Amino acid sequence: MSTAMANGISRGARVALIALAALATSMVPSCAWVLESSPGNRVTVVLGPMRWPGGDLRPGHIVRADGSEVFIERAYLAWARAELKACAAGQSAGLSVRKGDRNVVRSGGAERWAAWLRQAFRGAARASHTGLTPLVEVRALAESLFAQGPTELVALAPPPGTYCRLVIGVAAPSGTPERGPSDLALAGVSLAMDGYYRAGPDAPWVVLSVRESAAFDVTVPLPQVELDGQDLVVEVDKAATDWLGSIDFASKTAGRATLEALQASMRVALR
């Protein structure tokens, strides 16, 4: 401290500064201990490979139980959010995050300070529980759904609690999706699926083109899991035959049925 500065600070102020410095020094180990001993829950949602008959990377040719056949060439699903749902009815303890962007807080200055204080005194895990409005970012889910290897969909940081469900919010983008193919008109489309199907081996192949605009929460049951400061991987497995095996693609409700069947075809493993 320079002489000029020292001369400019009253004795009372100096006493107050010294006291604050001492207090701050004494708090540092305490805060560090809180953060180290209560690390945040990190839940990584991984989509396992879609299992197609034949094992080719290209979409498969499915012969269904009733003899009808489906050949899917491409599919598109737009998703806006992913969250874990707490077990207690009506208790949504999930945190909606943007893909690749964890613990995102979109709030005003006062809320940011409040969040910082909660983090400082309650540990990093609780800092992620903000209860914010879902951060909508539309992305193509189909690429992840159909990737041959496991693909990380999203990383969540929920607060401690017991969780029973994973929810992937499928929703139509209002404009051009960030990663949507440029010539696929997907504004207002939550699900697009193109291919061919036929009623049986002797029936003619006809064009399959499904477009759905409704939002739909794909809800996958979890083995009840209690999170209290650990890392967890939720791997979602699915089989194309289970998904597309019984959908009537000639129906006007084929889009909704496809979303519901996707939900029913998913199985979760924790590791």
The full 3-state SS of 62-115, as one line of letters, equals EECCCCCEEEEEEEEEEEEEEEEEECCCCCCCCCCCECCECCCCCCCHHHHHHH
Residue 257's nearest CA partner among 195, 212, 201, 205 is 212
Pick the closest to residue 142 from 67, 74, 54 (CA basis): 74
Closest distance between other proteins and the C-beta of residue 72, in Å?
9
Residue 71 or 164 with smaller CB distance to other proteins: 71
User: Over 188-215, what HEC string results?
Assistant: CCCEEEEEEEECCCCCCCEEEEEEECCC
Alpha carbons 11 and 240: distance in angstroms, whole number: 77
Question: Residue 45: beta bridge partners?
Answer: 154, 234
> 90 or 149, CB closer to other proteins?
149
Comparison of 75 and 222: residue with beta carbon closer to other proteins: 75
Q: Strand 216-227 vs strand 191-198: parallel, antiparallel, or unpaired?
A: unpaired
Q: How far is the CB of 76 from other proteins (least distance, A)?
A: 7
Contact status, residue 233 vs residue 270, Cβ threshold 8 Å: yes
Binding site for other proteins (CB under 8 A): 50, 56-59, 61, 71, 73-76, 140, 142-143, 145-151, 179-184, 196, 198, 201, 204-207, 209
Q: In angstroms, what is the minimal distance from the CB of 119 to other proteins? A: 33
Between 80 and 84, name the residue whose CB sits nearer to other proteins. 80
Smallest distance from other proteins to CB 238, Å: 13
Cα distance between residue 253 and residue 239, in whole Å: 21
Q: Write down the least CB distance from residue 56 to other proteins, Å.
A: 6
Nearer to other proteins, 140 or 236 (CB): 140
Nearer to other proteins, 209 or 224 (CB): 209
Could you tell me the smallest distance in angstroms from the CB atom of residue 143 to other proteins?
6
